[in-house]
Amino acid sequence: TRKIVFKFVTMSDTFDVVIIGGGPGGYVCAIRSAQLGFKTACIESRYTLGGTCLNIGCIPSKSLLNLSENFSKAKNNFFNVGIETGELTLNLSKMMKIKEKSVTVLTKGIEFLFKKNKVTYIKGQASFKSNNEIIVQEKNSQKIYKANHIIISTGSEPTSLPGIKIDEKIIVSSTGALSFDKVPKELVIIGGGYIGLEMGSIWKRLGSNVTVIEFLDHIVPGMDKDISIEFLKILKKQEINFKLNSKVTAVNVVENKAVVDYTSNETNIRKRIQVDKVLVAVGRKPNTEELNLKKMSIKSDNQGRIQVDNKFQTSIKNIYAIGDVIKGPMLAHKAEEEGIAVAEIIAGQSGHVNYNIIPGVIYTSPEVASVGKTEQQLIKENIKYKIGKFPFMANSRAKVINEIEGFVKILAEEKTDKLLGVHMVGPHAGDMIAEMVLAMEFGASSEDIARTCHAHPTYSEAIKEAALAVDKRPIHY
Ligand code: NAI
């Protein structure tokens, strides 16, 4: 076979910059590199651009979150507000087609942007041959590309638990859970993190009985505790079941059903439930296996993340890594920032990512959003702080629209009043957090926010009021 393979190897172009992986990190990096005047190529094995985010992550989930929320509102709220419909039915396959269309439109959009920016799009599986040669395997042929700078941006893939095999039929990852062909009656979700709670919301709204089994005694580890407690309360009110402090010990498929065994960490009591589907959402791991990194002696840490310095350089100087394959939150926007920074660094500019100010958003209803330090982090780091909180219950816009759950919490440094962290659960929190991200980038104080005019009536007034509350002078609460 070696001979056959070599027969088809052809030497091809040399590029200034080659990016392996066409997800949010890689494609953004490719466009920025081309903008900076580099001859740029981006290699992608999926045959569509956009990576996990566009194809099987952020985008299709947000489509289904929106569609399922409309369904749930029509079913549960319309009647109460004077909108009376006939019997409501769910056409799941139509909903799935709409989701798929939104994915196609966006992935094609990136292809268009590549053409516009003269980025060469190479389809196939890439691996390293040498420091500046990449082999691209496409069906039965191989091609070798040369590059002065190579950026690894191959993203991540779902992890599972020992002994639990994801078959994407009954035991699924987020990929399978985005494409169920009918609404599972009983759905167990292992892991109360970002994926578990977003996917749980979708299927609960469409009619599943959802049970989230979480190892810790709270949901979304790392989130500010106040928000986590409030968020859990809200999700429980939506009738999502939670088994916290519980460890899943086995999942077995028996006659097209999943049998889930779990044990309480407190009491050690073992329980068993039988369900239609199980979603495993216990985190993701870097996707580096096919790259031939070991032979290249590119160093990784004990979690399989490629080690880079503050210029994104790996142990080989002209090879860089960004996004989910390196340390930091596995978020599309973090990868995008790194993509831009690394392209600028290669161009001799001072590309930079401010890791202290990366927002996180959970697109449930209501949304959860945060930026900066949590109260627990401030306590741990011995930083003195002031708190301002404001509930959406006291925000006129939220009241009119009856989206009154949740609150805004602002943490400011005790002495200087500088914003240290902002956390919120409430309507449109995911968009509203942008104001606070910007404020923190400019080093704003809570007084700066409190003295900034916010349009009335908007949800954003809750932010201004929370800032006033830092100085114990909110107007409407
Ligand atoms: P995650 O890290 O957010 O949550 C995993 C959860 O599983 C944690 O709560 C953890 O305590 C729990 N867990 C771990 N082992 C367990 C066990 N044996 N039994 C029960 N629970 C267990 O990971 P998730 O939700 O899989 O998401 C993966 C990545 O994708 C995250 O890094 C997240 O940032 C990203 N993502 C971001 C989204 C967004 O920005 N809205 C949406 C979806 C994913």
Tens-level pLDDT at each residue, the chain (477 residues): 444 444 455 556 899 999 999 999 999 999 999 999 999 999 999 999 999 999 999 999 999 999 999 999 999 999 999 999 999 999 999 999 999 999 999 999 999 999 999 999 999 999 999 999 999 998 889 999 999 999 999 999 999 999 999 999 999 999 999 999 999 999 999 999 999 999 999 999 999 999 999 999 999 999 999 999 999 999 999 999 999 999 999 999 999 999 999 999 999 999 999 999 999 999 999 999 999 998 899 999 999 999 999 999 999 999 999 999 999 999 999 999 999 999 999 999 999 999 999 999 999 999 999 999 999 999 999 999 999 999 999 999 999 999 999 999 999 999 999 999 999 999 999 999 999 999 999 999 999 999 999 999 999 999 999 999 999 999 999
Cα–Cα dist 399/404, whole Å: 6
Question: Distance from the CA of 200 to the center of ligand 1, in angstroms?
Answer: 12
Chain position carrying tokens 């209501």: 366
Burial class for 24, CB neighbours closer than 10 Å (0-12, 13-18, 19+): buried
Ligand 1 atom at minimum distance from 247 CA: 19
Q: Is the peptide bond prior to 366 cis by the omega test (within 30 degrees of 0)?
A: yes
Ligand 1 atom at minimum distance from 360 CA: 40
Question: Distance from the CA of 303 to the center of ligand 1, in angstroms?
Answer: 15
pLDDT of residue 294: 87
Q: Which residues are 279's β-sheet partners?
A: 172, 189
Per-residue pLDDT tens for 334-368? 999 999 999 999 999 999 999 999 999 999 999 99
DSSP state of 307: P
pLDDT of residue 10: 57
Question: Distance from the CA of 193 to the center of ligand 1, in angstroms?
Answer: 4
423, 454, 456, 476: the active-site residue: 456
- 352 a catalytic residue: no
pLDDT of residue 362: 98
Are 124 and 43 in contact by the 8 Å Cβ rule? The answer is: yes
Pocket test for ligand 1, best of 282, 336, 368 (most atoms within 8 A of CB): 282
Are 240 and 204 in contact by the 8 Å Cβ rule? The answer is: yes
The residue contributing the CA closest to ligand 1 atom 35 is 330
Written as six digits, the tokens of 464 are 């201004």
Q: Which residues are 190's β-sheet partners?
A: 213, 280
The residue contributing the CA closest to ligand 1 atom 15 is 282
Cα–Cα dist 123/139, whole Å: 10
Are 170 and 277 in contact by the 8 Å Cβ rule? The answer is: yes
Ligand 1 atom at minimum distance from 58 CA: 42
- Lining ligand 1 with CB less than 6 A are 161, 190-196, 198, 213-216, 221, 247-248, 281-284, 329-331, 361-363
Written as six digits, the tokens of 412 are 């400011």
Cα–Cα dist 397/309, whole Å: 46
Q: Please list, in sequence order, all residues whose beta carbon lies within 8 angstroms of the beta carbon of residue 266, skipping any fewer than 6 positions away.
A: 245
Question: Distance from the CA of 191 to the center of ligand 1, in angstroms?
Answer: 6
Ligand 1 atom at minimum distance from 330 CA: 32
pLDDT of residue 4: 47
pLDDT of residue 140: 85
Burial class for 458, CB neighbours closer than 10 Å (0-12, 13-18, 19+): middle
Longest dimension (CA), the chain: 78
Question: Distance from the CA of 110 to the center of ligand 1, in angstroms?
Answer: 27
Are 476 and 394 in contact by the 8 Å Cβ rule? The answer is: yes
The residue contributing the CA closest to ligand 1 atom 14 is 282
Are 149 and 18 in contact by the 8 Å Cβ rule? The answer is: yes
Are 206 and 71 in contact by the 8 Å Cβ rule? The answer is: yes
* Dihedral sign computed on CA atoms, order 201, 202, 207, 212: negative
